[in-house]
Structure 1
Amino acid sequence: MNVRIRRAERRDVDGMLQLVRELATFEREPDAVSVTPEHMADAGFGPHPVWVGWVAENDGAMVGMAICYERYSTWKGRRLYLEDIVVTSKARGQRIGERLFRECARYAVEQGHAGMVWQVLDWNVDAIRFYERHGASMDPQWINGSLEVEQLKRLAVP
């Protein structure tokens, strides 16, 4: 396999979104992806981009990707959040995930971030081992909370 890693471009969004859907299926949430290609493209390449990404290609076919964005911690300062790192099932075992992870780390260092954070499902032991092999600490104490748009709208009303 001759895999090339490069910075994501607008033309990659459809393929990246397909990988996001593949990840959602793997994470047992096949119907949870609601973002459109237009929204994803605007969020990454519009006038105010909020994410940066990389794609892995083998002979022109996308076989992996990573998406990150900046967040701010009142305890630690600017940190990079790794939203998704995905490698197609057919391309696993080729160190593509490691190369994508290193690109994110390199970007975090170049941008002066104080660290990089992400989430991983507690049953995804392969991913947990992957991160631990790279020196990551995993903290099981924090519980994630979220509100969807309808919940936000209800909360926003005084």
Structure 2
Amino acid sequence: MPHTNIIIRDAVKEDCPRMLELVKELAVYERAPDEVTVSLEHFIESGFGENPVWWALVVEKEGVIIAFALYYIRYSTWKGQRMYLEDIIVTEEWRGRKIGGLLMDELIKKAKTKGFDGIHWQVLDWNEPAIGFYKKYQARFDNEWINVSLDVRNH
């Protein structure tokens, strides 16, 4: 039984080194290995410092983190507070074993507990496995809005 001895729990500070390893693994999968520039110290401070800006759920199997989901609060002037799912990351050897579904179900529960009425996230247009996974949740895909970002270091 693949889900025996699996624990899903809130992340703690000590999980950050392993979580960052998984972030780097995801960057390789998403064809952008050099794009991860966050330091471990900044990552830890952002999640567990005086004013945390993110929270996470981790999936542990026999004491090893095999997946996590990191989220933060997004504010909509139309809808109020909503969860923004930055990443669901499942280590390569555990992909396709329904770990992502366990995490998504826990995220939905967490969002409801916090009084959020929705979850937002992005997915790369070529990531067919992820798109198929999200379709199982009846997620709506929005082709109208364009993603925009600004690197302030250039100004």
TM-score of the pair, normalised by structure 1? 0.92
Out of 2, 7, 11, the position equivalent to 1:4 is 7
Alpha-carbon separation, structure 2, partners of 1:141 and 1:110: 30
Deviation at 1:11, TM superposition (A): 0.1
The CA deviation at 1:114 is 2.2
Alignment pair present for 1:143 and 2:143? no
Aligned match for 2:115, one of 108, 112, 115: 112
**Moved runs in structure 1, 4+ residues, more than 4 A?**
none
By how many angstroms is 1:77 displaced? 1.4
Is 2:93 the partner of 1:96?
no
Percent of aligned pairs sharing the same letter = 48
Measured in 1, the distance between the counterparts of 2:78 and 2:19 equals 32
Alignment match, 1:36:
39
Residue 41 of structure 1 and its aligned partner are, at CA, apart by 0.8
Rounded to whole Å, the distance in 1 between the matches of 2:15 and 2:151 is 27
One-letter amino acid matched to 2:148: G
Query: Which 5+ residue runs of structure 1 have no aligned equivalent?
Result: none
1:51: how far off?
A: 0.7
- For 2:89, which of 86, 104, 125 is the aligned residue? 86
Q: Between Structure 1 and Structure 2, how many residues are aligned? A: 152
Amino acid at match of 1:120: V
Alignment-derived partner of residue 75 in structure 1: 78
Identify unmatched segments of 5+ residues in structure 2.
Answer: none
Alpha-carbon offset, residue 93 of structure 1: 2.1
Aligned mates of 2:83, 2:146 — CA distance in 1: 19
Secondary structure of the equivalent of 1:31? helix
Residue 150 of structure 1: how far off its partner (Å): 1.0
- 3-state SS in 2 of match to 1:123: coil
